[in-house]
Amino acid sequence: MYIYFDFECTQLNGIHVPNLCVAHRVCQCCDHLPINEPCKRCEAFGPRRHVFQGPKTLKDFMDWLLATTPNAQGQASAMVNKDAISRDMTGNSY
């Protein structure tokens, strides 16, 4: 299973705060299907497209990600944290 996501951020006082995230979940059976088409193999995880908005965007995304990937909680968290740190969630790369 793969999770693709993209964040949009607001910027206040030089700090970027995520306020929109669109995430797509795909498995090897549906990675070629339009995102709105259901997948018999992974439909138990719910819709394949999720949109998170507002001040709790990052928390809501992480809650969903960890619930969607319960067997990979540590890896998912580490991956997102590493990505968040490397891009500073601000668009600034390090």
Strands (E), the chain: 2-12, 15-26, 49-53
**Closest separation between CB of residue 3 and Zn ion, Å?**
12
Q: Per-residue contact track with Zn ion, 13 to 32, x per CB under 5 A?
A: --------------x-xx--
Instruction: Give CA–CA dist 66/64, Å, rounded.
Output: 6
> Going by C-beta distance under 8 Å and a sequence separation of 6 or more, which residues neighbour residue 81?
none
Instruction: Kindly tell me which of 15 and 29 has the beta carbon lying closer to Zn ion.
Output: 29
Stretch that binds Zn ion, among 16-24, 41-49, 61-69, 81-89 (CB under 5 A): 41-49
Binding site for Zn ion (CB under 5 A): 27, 29-30, 39, 41-42
